[in-house]
Amino acid sequence: MKELESCCLCPRNCHINRYQKPGVCGATSKMKIAHYGLHMWEEPIISGEAGSGTIFFSYCNLKCIFCQNYKISTEGYGKEVSKERFQELCLDLQNKNANNINLVTPTHYVPQIVEALQEIKDKILKIPVVYNTSSYENVETIKKLKGIVDIYLADLKYYDNDLGKKYSHVSNYFKYASLAIKEMVEQTGQFVIKDNIMQKGVIVRILILPGHVDDAKKLVYYLYTTYKDNIIISLMNQYTPLRKLDYTNLNRKLKDEEYQEVIDYALDLGVKYAFIQEGETQSESFIPNFDCSMI
């Protein structure tokens, strides 16, 4: 695959030949998967009652210091798989009545994913494909997914690029993420939900970080004034500190009043289509037990 000979799939544009050595993300030319199975803890219109058919890819092009999936995103836990095995995993999830195939942190494997899914999508794979991303993407990479991806489940992490520098080691997060989300919306159009399960469209997630309510509000304002009711916003309170960090605010959970402030802001702005989290979501129990023994 020519794209992997001088990789520019993400805005890091490292130009590394991944057939010879890993990119900045850590990935080589071989697809690596850390976990697959039914996942019950996505948004209700993604998981439903049967579950979302998640496939967690190893490595990540962002380097978030608070990452909950550090074992796979940074340490690279997982198992290398062939195109044929990836296809088998997708079809196995479909046979288990998954509502969709949910590709988690897939950016660095887009060429391999496109090649594999082009052979089976709408032929023997009949359920929607979800692209679950940090949104730190080059637009050209998202364009490759047209006709392959039905639903984009996209993070919008920071409005202030200084936060991206501090917490994810990138200097231009909002610029690239906002352009990528624009392409996602242009591809899918207005979201479609059938029998309480999403069939196409865009959900944008905002993980509200402790001490950064104002930044979250700016993200809500940007999304709503740009896309109105064509997308769904997911306001997440599940930030969970897993290890001691250099930033005091990231060593605590989000306060209830911080979360409520963002919810109230969204409602006052006029947001109609949004998810909020209730109950205890700030828990390690929501993090999959990564086990690639069955892959």
pLDDT in tens, 138-156: 999 999 999 999 999 999 9
For the chain, the farthest-separated pair of C-alpha atoms sits apart, in whole angstroms, at 53
Q: Where are the domains of the chain?
A: 2-286
Provide the pLDDT for residue 268.
98
Beta bridge partners of 101: 53, 129
Provide the pLDDT for residue 188.
97
**What is the tens place of the pLDDT at every residue in 215-250?**
999 999 999 999 999 999 999 999 999 888 899 999
Q: How many CA atoms lie within 13 A of 28 on its CB side?
A: 10
For residue 114, give Cα distances in angstroms to 22, 141, 143, 175, 259: 20, 11, 11, 25, 37
Provide the pLDDT for residue 285.
46
Provide the pLDDT for residue 293.
73
Strand, helix or coil for residue 26: coil
pTM: 0.95
Residue 290 has pLDDT above 90, yes or no: no
Residue 108 has pLDDT above 90, yes or no: yes
Please provide the DSSP assignment of 169-184 as one string.
S-S-HHHHHHHHHHHH
Q: Which fold has domain 2-286?
A: TIM Barrel (3.20.20)
Residue 179 has pLDDT above 90, yes or no: yes
